[in-house]
Amino acid sequence: MKKYVVLLFASLLTGINCSQESGEKDGGEVAPDVPASVSTRVSVSFGAGIEVDGSTVPFALAANDQVALIHVPSGEKVLAKPTEAGGAVSPFIYELKAAAKGDQLVLYYPADRNVEASGSKASFDFPSKQDGTAFAPLYLGGCSHTGSAFVGHAASLRPMAAFLYVKAPKGAYSVTGASVRANGGEPLAGKVSMDFSSNTLSANGSATVEVTLKTPLDCTDDAQPIPIFLPPLKLSKGFTVTFSLSDGSKATYEEPDAVTLYPGDFFNASLIHRELVACGSNMVYIINASAAEKAGRYNDALLWSWDAKTESATIGAKLKRMSFLDECKPVMDRKKLLLTSSDGWAALLDIKTKKVDWWATDLTQAHSAEILPGQRVVVAGTTEGLYLMELSSQNVLAQYPLPNAHGVVWSDKYQRLYAVGGTSLQIYKLKDWNGPSPALELETTLSTSGYVTGLHELSVVDESTLAVAGNKVALFDLETRKFTSLVHFNSFAGMKSINYNKITGEAYYTYGWTDHSEGDYTWSTHTIRYTDAVQTGGKDKKTITVDDINMYKVRVLVW
């Protein structure tokens, strides 16, 4: 990839000589009421440049570089070239027809940009469509005319763009483009204005910038960078980057925290952290995976935690039954967690408020749950099978047998419920769903014995693929209803959770079985494991230790 440079302007307040030349009538008679021009000398300093990798490079003015000046009251625009080329500082001399004391002057570079000025503001267009090559940022400054031939002007030009550097993750694909969206709705393109009286920048336009690459980026061997230019604004809720892949699919990464983009700044979006949800005993943790992987432990990377015992009274269960959490599934746009406990209860937890929105008890050996259309929920219990319930009550509408039920997933695309237990995968349709007696209708039962036995996990890979895990792991294609093995897990037993990113080939997972348990029980663990070699086999590359709970599952909240 080429190098892309953002130039930084340093403020330089220097004396500027301004003189007014008198016009003359025939015979040399002075006509003081008809000024010929005002000569204005401005000195501007250019700082270093920043390359796409964050390193700095020297900058030198070319002889033909031009900086434009607008006399705001009249709208007159004049251009000037540097009088001292080759360095980072040069005077620029402008000839104005008329300029009075207090008149607003606006200067900008490069001179061919479309800039409008009125009052104390200057505005310009910021592109919503980019191609991943160097977008020349606009440098803008303003000052008031002194009205004197002896008192100089001072104008500091600042870059009206920030450089967002995003990395498309490594994977067996090519990237054709990317989009950046402000999570808080702040405009990232359109009409941008600089108010010199308040020294503030504002925008009015699109909250999304689209980048269509001239040449697709091959990410097979490594992550690939994409440069995107944005106005220097504060993004109150961060931003989301969505990569377009050559096979038509998407990969999304999110920076959920507030971000301030400074003029000329270099923001490395590859630092976006991944978030994991881990659960076991009576605790649920949300962990910054990137930080935890570096430290090897979760403690210093803990972002959020919840103790089930704090909601014992709400749920109506004794404290001793508020342990053995075995599911912590992100639902409802990742704003809530659907929890289950083999102590016999399930709950819907709001992450932000840490309040329980729904709960139910007497669900024997509850091991997983799923939200269904129409504000309903299904809970998988290893003893009693599937429980169908309303999110508005704690009543069980119906039960469906499934020995050792351990996982349930709903597909919006196929309008089916999938459930696993033992060596069976069951597929259900919704029946009389809008009537007084909604039900699940068993459509078919498939054996997984040729691929996976001892089923303990069912998770979403993408809208057409599920991961089925237990002793080994397989993918289940919802369209063809066929299984395929995941090579990395061919020698694994006791898989309790699997989070597989089909695009990048990565996975986070947990396991525990006899002689391979780290906790107090044969099914528990103290380790979140990671690999990026799911299809080819190989060793795990990173682990995160969580040794203060008997951990069962890990879920990816943000990839």
- Domain locations in the chain as residue ranges: 6-271, 275-558
Contact 6, 50 (CB under 8 A): yes
Instruction: Look at strands 104-109 and 385-390 and give their pairing.
Output: unpaired
- In order of 289, 324, 379, 401, 419, the CA distances from 388 in angstroms are 34, 22, 7, 12, 13
Q: Which residues pair with 460 in a beta bridge?
A: 466
**Residue 293 confidence (pLDDT):** 85
Q: Could you tell me the pLDDT band of residue 490, with boundaries at 50, 70 and 90?
A: very high
Contacts of 112 (CB under 8 A, 6+ apart): none
294 DSSP assignment: H
Contacts of 68 (CB under 8 A, 6+ apart): 77, 78, 79, 107, 108, 109, 111, 113, 115
**Residue 155 confidence (pLDDT):** 77
Question: CA 558 to CA 252: how far, in whole Å?
Answer: 9
Question: CA 393 to CA 10: how far, in whole Å?
Answer: 64
Render 441-489 in DSSP notation, one character per residue: EEEEEEE-TTT-EEEEEEEEEETTEEEEEEEEEEEEETTT--EEE-GGG
Q: What is the mean pLDDT of residues 91-100?
A: 84
> For residue 489, is it left (φ>0), alpha (ψ between -120 and 50) or beta?
alpha
The tens digit of pLDDT for each residue in 367-403 reads 999 999 999 999 999 999 999 999 999 999 999 999 9
Question: CA 337 to CA 355: how far, in whole Å?
Answer: 11
Q: What is the mean pLDDT of residues 496-516?
A: 91
Question: CA 3 to CA 319: how far, in whole Å?
Answer: 60
Q: What is the mean pLDDT of residues 536-558?
A: 90
Q: What is the mean pLDDT of residues 224-242?
A: 89
Token digits of residue 428? 């259900």
Q: What is the mean pLDDT of residues 517-537?
A: 89
Q: Could you tell me the pLDDT band of residue 14, with boundaries at 50, 70 and 90?
A: very low
Is pLDDT above 70 for 105? Answer: yes
How many helical (H) and strand (E) elements, i.e. helices and strands, does the chain have? 2, 49
Q: Say if residue 58 is preceded by a cis peptide, omega within 30 of 0.
A: no
Is pLDDT above 50 for 175? Answer: yes
Q: Which residue has the higher pLDDT, 349 or 503?
A: 349
Residue 432: Cβ within 10 Å count: 10
CA 60 remoteness from chain centre = 36
- % of the chain with per-residue pLDDT over 90: 57
Q: Which residue has the higher pLDDT, 149 or 29?
A: 149
Is pLDDT above 80 for 135? Answer: no
**Residue 60 confidence (pLDDT):** 78
- In order of 337, 408, 461, 505, the CA distances from 556 in angstroms are 12, 17, 11, 14
Instruction: Give the up-direction half-sphere exposure of residue 497: CA atoms within 13 A in the CB hemisphere.
Output: 27
Least confident of 120-124, 217-221, 284-288: 217-221
Angle at 168 between CA 50 and CA 215, to 5 degrees: 80
Q: Which residue has the higher pLDDT, 549 or 60?
A: 549
Contact 40, 18 (CB under 8 A): yes
Q: Could you tell me the pLDDT band of residue 16, with boundaries at 50, 70 and 90?
A: very low
Is pLDDT above 50 for 3? Answer: no
- % of the chain with per-residue pLDDT over 70: 88
- In order of 43, 64, 523, the CA distances from 97 in angstroms are 20, 23, 85
Q: Could you tell me the pLDDT band of residue 47, with boundaries at 50, 70 and 90?
A: low
**Residue 203 confidence (pLDDT):** 85
516 DSSP assignment: S
> In 3-state terms, what secondary structure has residue 126?
strand
Is pLDDT above 50 for 28? Answer: no
Contact 237, 156 (CB under 8 A): no
**Residue 21 confidence (pLDDT):** 33
**Residue 409 confidence (pLDDT):** 98
Q: What is the mean pLDDT of residues 153-179?
A: 81
Q: Could you tell me the pLDDT band of residue 427, with boundaries at 50, 70 and 90?
A: very high
Give me the chain's average pLDDT, please: 86
Is pLDDT above 60 for 12? Answer: no
Q: What is the mean pLDDT of residues 552-557?
A: 97
Residue 97 amino acid letter: K
Contact 368, 328 (CB under 8 A): no
Q: Could you tell me the pLDDT band of residue 23, with boundaries at 50, 70 and 90?
A: very low
- In order of 175, 214, 329, 540, 541, the CA distances from 222 in angstroms are 12, 19, 30, 18, 16
**Residue 13 confidence (pLDDT):** 27
Is pLDDT above 50 for 93? Answer: yes
**Residue 530 confidence (pLDDT):** 94
Render 19-79 in DSSP notation, one character per residue: EEEPEE-GGG-EETTS--EEEEEEEEEEEEEE-TTS-EE-----TT--EEEEETTTTEEEE
**Residue 91 confidence (pLDDT):** 84
**Residue 225 confidence (pLDDT):** 83
- Name the CATH architecture for the domain at 275-558: 7 Propeller (2.130)
Question: CA 350 to CA 357: how far, in whole Å?
Answer: 7
Contact 160, 140 (CB under 8 A): yes
Is pLDDT above 70 for 15? Answer: no
**Residue 283 confidence (pLDDT):** 98
Q: Which among 163-172, 285-294, 435-444 has the top mean pLDDT? A: 435-444
Least confident of 12-21, 54-63, 320-329, 476-485: 12-21
